[in-house]
Amino acid sequence: MTSHRQQHIALAQAYDGITRIVADLDDADLQRPTRCRGWLVADLLLHLVGDAQRALVALASPADGPPDVDDVTYWHTFPPGDGSRHAWWVRRSAAAFERPSGVVRLWTDTAPAAVRAAAAAEPTGCVTTQGHVLRVPDLLATLATEAVVHHLDLVVDLPAAPPPGPEATRVAVATMDGLLSDDAVRPAGWDDHEYLLKATGRLPLTDRDRLELGEVAGWFPLPG
């Protein structure tokens, strides 16, 4: 069980990492491709704004316990699908801004507010989001995990961009470890970023990966 303070630090680092990527991008760079099919940088950033807005709502929505999911089992609750309707909505919504930099301004207003709300939340309390009840630290872990993975999506065509911070990455890696079977060991040659990309299906497993993983290869990509 992780602490509220640890998860708050991870979320702050994850959101700051996104800000450091996008804050100085011009409109042309905000229209570069990402790993998310069909989404430009501005599109993916708007999706992340939605996460930060959801965080604000959840943190202002205390709930009686007990929680029905934690920071790992939360990811099992999403039905399989290609997300095409949401992807289409995001593209259309991002295109409605007069300039792509408008999405950056919305992000830089919203993300710090979510981090401040996370700091002020009751550390032992529960909140509700997307039809589930979670402990506050577990909510923060889910938000940090998604931000770290999308950080890696954002920088695919931005080679000079900084990587996700270490505490945020640690939380995302712990989430993937939790989604794997107890006896699974990731290939020794994977660094944390490669692990996150392969665990989420963003990079395919190689023949060597499958050999090292054995039966565990069938778990990839992990839920979420």
CA distances to 100, 103, 150, 185, 190 from 73, rounded to whole Å, are 35, 31, 20, 20, 24
> CA-CA distance, 58 to 213, in Å (whole number)?
37
Flag whether the pTM goes above 0.75. Answer: yes
Cβ 40 vs Cβ 33: under 8 Å: yes
Domains of the chain in start order, with CATH, are 4-164 (1.20.120.450), 180-224 (no CATH)
Mean pLDDT by 10 residues, the chain (224 residues): 87 98 97 95 98 97 94 84 81 94 98 98 95 96 98 96 97 94 83 96 95 92 82
Tokens of 154: 């954002």
Buried b (16+ CB within 10 A) or exposed e, 114-150: bbebbbebeeebbbbbeebbbbbbbbbbbbbbbbbbb
The pLDDT score that the predictor gives to residue 81 is: 57
The pLDDT score that the predictor gives to residue 80 is: 57
Strand, helix or coil at 129?
strand
> CA-CA distance, 164 to 144, in Å (whole number)?
10
The pLDDT score that the predictor gives to residue 126 is: 97
Cβ 16 vs Cβ 107: under 8 Å: no
Tokens of 173: 């890696």
The pLDDT score that the predictor gives to residue 120 is: 96
The pLDDT score that the predictor gives to residue 188 is: 87
DSSP assigned state of 26: -
**Bridge pairing between strands 126-129 and 132-135:** antiparallel
Phi/psi at 49 (nearest 5 deg)?
Answer: -55, -40
CB atoms near residue 218 (< 10 Å):
8
Tokens of 200: 């989420």
SS (H, E, C) 53-83: HHHHHHHCCEECCCCCCCCCHHHHHCCCCCC
